[in-house]
């Protein structure tokens, strides 16, 4: 078994802090959480504290173990400290390819040559991201779902040069941290889940745009009619309207299919900053 002593999660946002929590909680290794501002790190750590306190309140976690989990997570803005002696890096930043390029170029230079470099991207090509490094065989997609501490699925995505060994190591790591891995055999935009999901979310936004139904009725119809735990409009607000538009644009360009073109309403909402839960206003107010 590939032994991990140090994990680096790049990005302390919605996905990053959740991934950091998972590795500290289940793998019980040192987890460095890197971001560009102290305020981002503080916000991420506070979310982790809140998550763990809920587990304690429900009797699912002991108080001393909560403290141990938090102690193993080391927030930092120091790039050299973060990348030093890393066994596994997981990038979980905004879906902008130039940002990911910078991170993977830096990781390739500063991490040990045998370190695995994973991306939590939900839409970009793993092969493209791997091309920013000199070790494409060790670059892999490791796509968690939001909220990461709760949802069990991880999509493991091969790039064109990702080795079988890397895939098998990541698969075993997923099992240790309590996740159920699935393998996306080809580096295709949207992988498995988002390729199926986002046309449905986009069509839900179109229903609102065309004034066919109100958001609450759309959510009610899908939850009761399709047995979804959350309606598509609620889910768009949770994902973030800007993130949804980025993913849809990436899918539209990568697959050259018009069904992925973002709804005009989503584009408009992204432009005016009505992004969902993270801005307290999207289709709903929070």
Q: Which residues are catalytic?
A: 122, 143, 155, 194
Contact by Cβ (8 Å): 174, 1: no
Residue 143's CB is within 10 A of a number of other CB atoms, namely 25
Q: Which two tokens stand for residue 64?
A: 């001393």
Which residue from 233, 224, 227 is spatially nearest to 200, judged by alpha carbons?
A: 233
Which residue from 246, 239, 238 is spatially nearest to 267, judged by alpha carbons?
A: 246
Please list the residues that pair with 200 across neighbouring strands. none
How do strand 88-91 and strand 116-119 relate by DSSP bridges?
Answer: parallel
CA distance 183 to 253: 23
End-to-end CA distance of the chain: 45
CA distance 108 to 54: 37
Residues 6+ apart with CB under 8 A from 140: 116, 117, 118, 119, 126, 156, 157, 158, 159, 162, 166, 167, 170
């Amino acid at each position: 078994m590939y032994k991990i002593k140090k994990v680096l999660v790049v990005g302390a946002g919605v996905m990053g802090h959740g991934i950091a929590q998972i590795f500290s909680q289940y793998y019980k290794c040192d987890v460095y959480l890197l971001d560009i501002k102290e305020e981002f790190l503080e916000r991420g750590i506070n979310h982790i504290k809140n998550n763990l306190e809920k587990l304690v309140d429900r009797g699912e976690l002991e108080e001393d173990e909560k403290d141990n989990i938090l102690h193993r997570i080391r927030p930092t803005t120091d790039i050299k400290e973060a990348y030093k002696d890393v066994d596994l890096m997981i990038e979980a930043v905004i879906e902008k390819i130039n940002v990911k390029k910078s991170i993977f170029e830096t990781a390739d230079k500063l991490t040990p040559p045998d370190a695995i470099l994973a991306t939590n991207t939900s839409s970009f090509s793993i092969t493209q991201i791997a091309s920013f490094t000199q070790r494409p065989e060790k670059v892999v997609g490791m796509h968690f779902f939001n909220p990461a501490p709760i949802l069990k699925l991880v999509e493991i995505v091969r790039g064109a040069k990702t080795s079988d060994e890397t895939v098998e190591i990541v698969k075993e790591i997923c099992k240790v941290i309590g996740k159920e891995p699935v393998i996306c055999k080809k580096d295709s935009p949207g992988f498995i889940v988002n390729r199926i999901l986002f046309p449905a979310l986009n069509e839900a936004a179109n229903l609102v745009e065309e004034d066919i139904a109100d958001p609450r009725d759309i959510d009610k119809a899908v939850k009761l009619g399709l047995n979804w735990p959350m309606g598509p409009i609620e889910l768009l607000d949770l994902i973030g309207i800007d993130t949804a538009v980025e993913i849809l644009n990436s899918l539209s360009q990568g697959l050259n299919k018009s069904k992925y073109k973002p709804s005009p309403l989503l584009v408009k909402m992204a432009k005016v900053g009505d992004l969902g839960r993270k801005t307290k206003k999207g289709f709903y107010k929070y």
